């Protein structure tokens, strides 16, 4: 199971030149009305932060002639957003900021009839790795301690997360399978609530994106044990990865901007140009570094291929955990 990104990084460099003519085309099409900027999650979470950051950069530099209107449509693990895009009456003015429920929700809710591969790739803003955290008062300092503790508690070890079938539950399910762990999993309705209850020691460990645990880590409250990234993370150089432990597994949250299905090529080219400039700008590059996101630039064809592998991978992961 390898949700690789290095392969695509290589390809991205090779095809950078090919995207230039499309950028030139962008001048021909301009938005005619305010742009619907749908956010696949509620206010305050990672996707919301990113959407509002991107909007502010676009706004501050006057990069579009019509404003982006961010709207949180987080209902039903993002089902609300997916349906909103699928049924968009004006696909040329409808964009969405995603996380991985982009893949998992359509698989888990087949009744929605959403095929994400029909959506229009715009810009991959980065991917967000997952890290295993415990509270400092637990006395656990290494992944091996953690495994020993979970085994010792035999089914009474409590972890919190954002719900069965959500990103962190997939990671926890993989980890439990690989080490034969019995974990009591408590679902919450957001990463912030999970972090708060780890800080209050209502739960014993979490798997969370660094952005949501950063404040407590810097205050010395949280201890990172293991990263689910391909390589050690710059912000946590002493934290080993799952791969180092001999398991070929990594998992990232996708932070991308996508367009509604049926968006015209001209409109898509325009948005790729706008958000490509945001991506390359100093503001976004600083944000990537401070929030420990990994860059993963891709063009349209690469994104489509990436989506196809991700959908297949998630289908496999979800069927394994029975979610």
Q: Which residues bind another protein (CB under 8 A)?
A: 42-45, 48-49, 52-53, 55-56, 59-60, 70-71, 73, 75-77, 79-80, 83, 108-109, 111-112, 158, 163-166, 184-189, 192-193, 195-197, 199-202, 211, 214-216, 218-219, 221, 286, 290-291, 323
Q: Which of 20, 60 has the CB closer to another protein?
A: 60
Give least dist CB 7 to another protein, A.
31
Q: 76's torsion region: left (phi>0), alpha (psi -120 to 50) or beta?
A: left
- Angle in degrees, 0-180, between the axes of helices 101-108 and 79-86, rounded to the nearest 10: 90
Least distance from another protein to the Cβ atom of residue 314, Å: 14
Q: How far is the CB of 308 from another protein (least distance, A)?
A: 24
Q: Min. distance of Cβ 200 from another protein in angstroms?
A: 3
Cβ distance to another protein smaller for residue 186 or 305: 186
Return the beta strands (E) in 136-192 as ranges.
157-161, 183-187
Q: Bridge partners of 241?
A: 227
- CB burial class (10 A; 0-12, 13-18, 19+) of residue 246? exposed
> CB 256: neighbour CB atoms within 10 A?
25
Q: Token pair for residue 79?
A: 């089902």
Q: At its nearest, how many Å lie between another protein and the CB of residue 174?
A: 18
Closer to another protein by Cβ: residue 14 or 43: 43
Contacts of 259 by beta carbon, 8 Å cutoff, 6+ apart: 91, 94, 95, 96, 119, 120, 121, 122, 267, 268, 271
Q: Which residues contact 88 (CB under 8 A, 6 or more apart)?
A: 36, 94, 260, 261, 262
The dihedral built from the CA positions of residue 205, 167, 81 and 268, taken in this order, carries a sign that is: positive
Query: 224 near 245, Cβ under 8 Å?
Result: no
Closer to another protein by Cβ: residue 151 or 214: 214
Closest approach, Cβ 229 to another protein, in A, equals 21
Q: State which residue, 11 or 112, has the beta carbon closest to another protein.
A: 112
Nearer of residues 198 and 263 to another protein, judged by Cβ: 198
């Amino acid at each position: 199971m390898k949700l690789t990104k290095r392969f695509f990084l290589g390809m991205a460099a090779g095809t950078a030149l090919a995207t230039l003519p499309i950028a030139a085309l962008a001048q021909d099409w301009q938005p005619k009305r305010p742009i619907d900027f749908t956010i696949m999650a509620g206010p305050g979470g990672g996707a919301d932060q990113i959407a509002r950051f991107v909007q502010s950069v676009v706004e501050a530099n006057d990069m579009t002639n019509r404003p982006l209107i961010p709207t949180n449509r987080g209902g039903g693990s993002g089902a609300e957003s997916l349906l909103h895009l699928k049924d968009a009456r004006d696909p040329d003015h409808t964009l969405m900021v995603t996380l991985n429920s982009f893949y998992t929700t359509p698989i888990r809710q087949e009744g929605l009839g959403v095929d994400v591969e029909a959506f229009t790739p715009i810009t991959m803003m980065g991917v967000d790795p997952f890290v295993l955290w415990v509270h400092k008062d637990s006395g656990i300092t290494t992944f091996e301690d953690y495994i020993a503790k979970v085994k010792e508690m035999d089914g009474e070890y409590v972890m919190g997360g954002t719900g069965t079938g959500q990103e962190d539950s997939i990671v926890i399910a993989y980890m439990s399978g690989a080490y034969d762990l019995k974990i009591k999993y408590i679902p919450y309705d957001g990463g912030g609530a999970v972090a708060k209850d780890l800080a209050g020691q209502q739960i014993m460990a979490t798997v969370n994106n660094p952005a949501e645990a950063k404040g407590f880590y810097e205050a010395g409250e949280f201890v990172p044990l293991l990263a689910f990234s391909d390589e050690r993370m710059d912000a946590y150089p002493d934290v080993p990865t799952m791969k180092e432990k001999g398991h070929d597994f990594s998992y990232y949250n996708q932070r991308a901007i996508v367009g509604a299905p049926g968006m015209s090529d001209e409109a898509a080219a325009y948005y790729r140009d706008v958000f490509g400039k945001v991506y390359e700008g100093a503001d976004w590059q600083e944000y990537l570094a401070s929030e420990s996101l990994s860059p993963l630039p891709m063009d349209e064809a690469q994104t489509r291929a990436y989506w196809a592998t991700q959908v297949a991978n998630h289908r496999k992961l979800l069927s394994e955990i029975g979610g």
